[in-house]
Structure 1
């Protein structure tokens, strides 16, 4: 049985379209659980609440701003039936986002592009449209709602935890949904910096991981390096070096810019190069913030451990 779980505690305006797509899909889930209370809790806690109520042996997480494709649940059922060793599977946004603004197109197609390139066995998880067997999910403790009380990388952390325990996770590039969200430039920067970049760096440091999953592949790292080289060259007025760094950056990401051109035209593709540079700058800025977050968490853990030790000593 499939149990679809939709976190919706922030009164999302896209919820009706999300639920309609689930209802109209071929071979829909056996139950759909919408978690809209208590208000304002984070998606990690909302998904955990839904999981506690679910009766299905497979939990399908669908974000409230995603309209699943017609065959989404069919693909999920087939994947779990075909291989009993499979613990989790997730997909990606499609290449036709609902919002047509330049920023929305860039951000949504970047996600699509990264996930499509990473098809196959995965070392992480995505809860925008992802499914996991109920027993291993509960055994792992579900999403870490204490570490992630607000929207962040709670799904990535869950995936890393599952894989560390020996789980097999698959990224199916044909398991897709349309993203209904409209991005603004400020929202994109804030999300990439504070909700994704910095927490991801802190997570890697905490786990001492050298993951190359999704946004951490060699191409992304080379893009970040060429972005840094470009900025330094411009700051020191080394035009040839700047031109070379820019050429490297564009060549590394040419397939993505071709996707932007194909889907939304020259204007969007041209703006996409500049937005991509901004995206890389934000990723670089997240490194010191992530380091600071890691140190803060270590201090907090040590303080809590000391308090527990003192409490035990007092009881004796």
Structure 2
């Protein structure tokens, strides 16, 4: 369900949505029984208050009681014919939605009060076809890696430009007419949770639409991360597909965690990780790792203080050190994709 290049009648208009535009909440769900009571409760209250028109939970062939529980809690339930990932579930909901605006909320995100008002305000601006928000500063997962990951996501969204280059569907909204005209999410390429929202954002902007980042459109992330799960997601669901997308489009996004400054920090992290070997091979370079570590702290000082203020000093230190590893494997994924583009048939596959 993707569209070709824009035609005149399908390009984004210069007008924003009307005041009071109706909102359909769209929640893709797969085996989400443990989350649904928490995530649906505030949305049901918004529906009762008339802030949103309806709540569509799209069950993506769950093996648990997700659809039955969602219905009992008060949501309308749709079911995909086969498991196709969140993009396919959202596309199905768009075909049934009665609202003028589609508000995507992941099934592990608790939307904060006031979201509909913030969405309508953003969408009322001229030319705006989509907007998205941020995780809050108190993620549910209390392990250091969960707090690091969820707070890192918040940091980038809070620090980014308001005029966004991409889209995020964890807690983001799009005009239904613009979504359908653009062809929805690319469900052929992205059959698992990946960068289907980022790719949609590129197409919405290519059609002349504006996308706004609304920092106070908030949601609490309930996901609990482990280091292996995080590394797999970062590499195979984010870094590799996003690198392929940027290479295919011949466009380097200068925003969020792919900005020019972030690329410079990635180079510094690579030098830091390689420096112990250099120090072993060349005795005169024994000072190098400590100097590069100090440089990494200086280059990431804003990020470090953000983690310290929101999670405490131990997690800030652990998070900053892990962040250097993140830079290295993300940069390595990009380099691989550059080489891959020159060597057809060498595509690396997601092991899951």
> What TM-score do the two structures reach when normalised by structure 2?
0.80
Q: What is the alpha-carbon distance in structure 1 between the residues aligned to residue 310 and residue 50 of structure 2? A: 30
Alignment-derived partner of residue 158 in structure 2: 116
Match of 1:60 in 2: 103
- The residue number in structure 2 matching 1:176 is 218
Of Structure 1 and Structure 2, which has the larger fraction of its residues in helix? 1
Structure 2 Cα separation of the partners of residues 273 and 129 of structure 1:
26
The correspondence of residues 1-316 of structure 1 with structure 2, limited to 5 A, is 1-11=22-32, 13-25=34-46, 28-39=51-62, 40-81=83-124, 83-237=125-279, 238-291=285-338, 294=341
What is the CA-CA distance between 1:288 and the residue it aligns to?
3.9
What does residue 309 of structure 1 align with? none
* 8 A contact 2:171–2:219 mirrored in 1: yes
Work out the CA distance in 2 between the residues paired with 1:191 and 1:297.
Answer: 24
Q: Is the 8 A contact 1:57 1:134 kept in 2?
A: yes
My pick for the range that moved more, 190-199 or 114-123, is: 114-123
Deviation at 1:37, TM superposition (A): 3.9
2:338, 2:54 → 1: CA distance?
42
CA distances 1:51-82 after superposition (whole Å, capped 9, x unpaired): 1110111111000110011111111122223x
Aligned length: 299
Which residue in the other structure is 2:76 paired with?
none
Structure 1 gap segments, 5+ residues each: 301-316
C-alpha distance in 2 between matches for 1:182 and 1:85: 37
Q: Which segment is superposed worse, 47-56 or 283-292? A: 283-292
Task: Report the 3-state secondary structure (helix = DSSP H, G, I; strand = E; otherwise coil) of the residue aligned with 1:172.
Answer: strand
Structure 1 residues 61 and 292 mapped into 2: Cα distance closer, same or farther (>3 Å)?
Answer: farther
Deviation per CA, 1:65-124: give whole Å up to 9, x if none: 10011111111122223x242111001101110111100000000000000011410110
2:28 touches 2:57 (CA, 8 Å); kept in 1?
yes
Instruction: Measure the CA separation in 1 of the matches of 2:140 and 2:314.
Output: 18
- Aligned partners of 1:199 and 1:293 also within 8 Å: no
Do the aligned partners of 2:161 and 2:255 also contact (CA within 8 Å) in 1? Answer: no
Q: Is the 8 A contact 2:269 2:325 kept in 1?
A: no
Q: CA RMSD in A?
A: 2.0
Q: CA deviation at 1:257?
A: 1.4
**What is the Cα deviation at residue 30 of structure 1?**
0.6
Asked whether the 8 Å contact 2:84–2:187 carries over to 1, the reply is no
Q: Which residue of structure 2 lines up, in the alignment, with residue 303 of structure 1?
A: none
Contact 2:186 2:200 in 1 (8 A): yes
Q: State the 1:12 CA deviation.
A: 5.1
